[in-house]
Amino acid sequence: MNAINLISYSIPLLKTSTTGQEALDLMNDNYVQHLPIVNNEQLLGIISEDDILENDDQESIGSYQLSTKAKVRASDHIFDVLAQMARAKLTVIPVVDESNKFLGVISQQDLLKFFAESFSFNESGGIIVLEMSKTDYALSEICRIVEAENVAVISSFITSSPEDSKIHVHLKISDPEIYRVIAALDRYDYQVVASYTEQPDLDSFKDRYESFMHYLNF
């Protein structure tokens, strides 16, 4: 999945002649804190609420000093898009082609929907979180243990901290009755640090996604 596949065309664009107040109104209407400034299909930058609040909101935004010019290429992988948004703390990120022609933006909501659909968060089942050292991680072995209990691993991902040698392996399994799977993992000395048996709703996932974005920024 590349950036071009998640472009939204509903987010408004700004011109250099747009006033700060007009930009704030558009941000409020679209529930974002950033908007791109585009002139003749060329991306000039991205403006934030903070940029406006530090200037005269009756002046045109073309006179402002912008705090970021972050962008992604249409061919960039969606994981790179996520990392870029996290580093720059953006609610939307512009997408350009190889000649720097503006194509559209990707919003946090676009990413939220993608991850919710792609990683089976809406599927019924259970979630198990394992903690282990990076050298002990072998997804094939973990799947073998889970599948021996007639349960499938339908999604997985890893989180880690740069200053820690430990990783967290998040498993979404097909059965909400997770206790026999936990017992099986325990028999093989895997450390289960968290488990969830209820299907997470979208608001809950949004909270976790925003926490993940915050985590990536550090």
The pLDDT score that the predictor gives to residue 216 is: 56
Contact partners, residue 142, CB within 8 Å, separation at least 6 = 130, 153, 156, 169, 171, 185, 190
Q: How many domains does the chain have?
A: 2
CATH number of the domain encompassing residue 111: 3.10.580.10
108 and 126 in a single domain? The answer is: no
Q: What is the per-residue pLDDT across 142-186, written as a single tens digit (0 to 9) for each?
A: 999 999 999 999 888 888 876 778 999 999 999 988 999 999 999
What pLDDT does residue 206 have?
Answer: 57
Question: H/E element holding 156?
Answer: strand 153-160
On whether both 83 and 42 belong to a single domain, the answer is yes
Domain that holds residue 158: 121-198
Task: Please indicate, yes or no, whether residues 100 and 134 belong to a single structural domain of this protein.
Answer: no
Helix (H) or strand (E) holding 27: helix 20-30
User: What is the domain-level CATH number for residue 139?
Assistant: 3.30.2130.10
pLDDT tens digits along 111-128: 888 877 766 666 778 999
Q: Positive or negative, the Cα torsion across 59, 63, 67, 72?
A: positive
In a domain, 128, yes or no: yes
For 168, the token pair is 């967290």
Q: In one letter, which amino acid is 166?
A: K
